[in-house]
Each structure stands twice: as C-alpha cells, then as structure tokens.
Amino acid sequence: MAFVIEREKKIPTQKANVKMPTSAMQALQNGITRKTAPRRIDVQPRKETVTKTGLSSCECPLIKAENFSLYYGSTVGVKDITMDIYPCSVTAIIGPSGCGKSTFLCSINRMNDLIPHVRASGKLLVSGQDVYDKQVNLVNLRQQGGMVFQKPNPFPKSIFDNVAYGPRLQGVRKQSKLEQIVEESLRAAVLWNEVENDLKKSALALSGGQQQRLCIARALATKPRVLLMDEPCSALDPLATGKIEDFIEQLKSSYTIVIVTHNMQQAARVSDRAALFCLGELIEYDSTSKMFSNPSKKQTEDYIPGRFG
C-alpha cells in the first residue's frame, strides 16, 4: 500500500509584536482585547463532501460529548463540554496552555484514569458507548483509540518489535501476518522506505522525527478507529513536522483523527474542524475555515491572531 504525498504550500508564520496582559487567560475568557494589529493567518478552505444536512459525508458522530466534565479532585479539568467529532475527518483542539485540551483528549480512551482522584460527569461516547460506563472494557476501548504523545516514546526494542507489540498482545502469532502488519503500518506512517532494511535495529537509534512516526505506526498497527495526537510535532523540526502533516491528510479517509496543537498554522493546514478551549470550557467549535476567517465568538477572534494565549 503506497501513498502519493502532495505537499501543501506552507503558510509562513509571522510573529506578533504584542505585549501580553498580566493575565492572558483571564483576559481571553472575558473577551478583553487590546488595540494592536494581529498577525494574519490565511486559511484555504478544505474540500469536504457536503450533504443535505450540511455535514461531511460521514454524518454520524463517532465521538460525542454531552455536558462532559472531568475533575482532578476539586480542580476542574474540563467543564460541560458538548461537541460531536465526525469520522473521516481531522479535528483540531486549540487553546492556551492549561485550558483542558489534553485532558479532553486523554478522556476519550480514559488515559486520565491513571491519575489519582479523577472523576467524571456527563457523557462521553465512542461508537455510541459511554466510555465511563462501569461495564466498559478498557482494553477494547484503548484498542479503538491509538494515542500519540508530545515526545516520541518508542520501546527499547527493535523497530519491528515496536510495531508488532500491539498485534502480538491481540493474539497475532503468525510471523508472516506480523510482517504484513509491520510493513503496512510503517508505510502508512511514511517510514517504510527509510527503515525497511533496518527492522532489527533499535528504535532508540532513530532520529526524533523517525521515532515519532514509529510511534504513530505502532498506534496504527492495532487498527484503531480513532487516532489521538497530543501535540505530535511540538518536539520536531519543520521537515519532520511536514512529513507528519502530510500523512495526517492521507490517513483521514480511514481514521478519525483528533489533534491537540498550539500551532495555529498547523491547525489551519491539517484540520477540517477546530475547537477552542479556555479554562476548561469549550468556547467555540466549527469548521476550521469559518473559525479562522469569521469566528462567532470574541475570544476566538482574539486568540487565533495571537492577541492572547
């Protein structure tokens, strides 16, 4: 399975010469702005198949949050989040640091359960099942949602064994089948041509960008329905970032992708829909082209050009 990659024209980043207020996040929440010239972010509308309902061709949401809240003890992680995430698309979650982006992302496959004193309320459904239902099988849930973190975290094993790790846990033992899965996953992550002759090589010997693509291949190997990406390019150079953005575009026809990013240009390049979080609340959620060119909320209008955050 080979991928033909067509690079999009990169949108240049221009730094805003804006002095931040004392409390940027509070100012953002209140919709307070300063009279400064924001930096411009040009957004090219993404092509979507539109139906009579106005949604993309995949009309039924795969992930659905209904007044979902999550708390770390008495501290609010996210509060009253209501949004639908559709298959066959890329959804970007943006917002200032500490606003609940990663908390919401990790709630989808209940990674937050590993933190003490976590409790949730409301509903968060994946494929129609509430992930916080007491009867939910966590192993099956996490197989549906592959996770890619900010920093590459390959296992101290060979490249082959990293990718084959999940399928082996799922019961795949036949070597020819494992080899097929490994090759397909590495090709999907645009890494096969670089490592096909070094599959027995330690994954720790790869470059940072290669390690991150290996982690993505490892996540794809278990055939998840959802790919959760928590700032996957934050530790990478522009070349490695471009490769990951390229394959995100290729993968969205087969996977539901949710990506957390601080990079507004990246969100404009790769996503179909975008959600702005601030202080644990969902401020605005709409198509990326509309949010970046004609936002409905004052906070969004201030955040995207870089006045705050």
DSSP string for 96-109:
STTSSHHHHHHHTT
Closest CA to 223 of 188, 194, 258, 247: 188
- Position 236 scores a pLDDT of 83
Give 117-159 pLDDT, tens digit per residue.
Answer: 999 999 999 988 999 998 888 888 888 888 999 889 999 999 9
User: Angle CA(114)–CA(118)–CA(124) in degrees, nearest 5?
Assistant: 95
What is the spatial order of strands in the sheet that 273-278 belongs to? 145-148, 226-230, 256-260, 90-94, 273-278, 281-287
Q: 90 falls in which pLDDT band (50, 70, 90)?
A: very high
Query: What is the pLDDT, as a whole number, of residue 278?
Result: 94
d(CA 106, CA 113): 9
Domain 56-303: give its CATH code.
3.40.50.300
Contact (Cβ atoms closer than 8 angstroms) between residue 24 and residue 96: yes
Q: Quote the pTM value.
A: 0.78
Please give the structure tokens belonging to residue 294: 């004609």
Q: How far apart are CA 308 and CA 300, in angstroms?
A: 10
Distance CA 91, CA 275 (A): 8
Residue 231 CA to its chain's centroid (Å): 7
Q: pLDDT value at position 37?
A: 45
Q: Indicate the pLDDT class of residue 253, thresholds 50, 70 and 90.
A: confident
Percent with pLDDT over 90 in the chain:
59
Nearest one of 112, 123, 29 to 71, comparing CA atoms: 112
Q: Using CA atoms, how far apart are residues 23 and 20, in angstroms rounded to an integer?
A: 8
pLDDT more than 70, % of the chain: 80
Query: pLDDT tens digit string along 104-123?
Result: 999 999 999 889 899 999 99
Indicate whether 34 pLDDT > 60.
no
- At position 49, the amino acid (one-letter code) is T
- Where along the chain do its domains lie? 56-303
pLDDT of 309 = 56
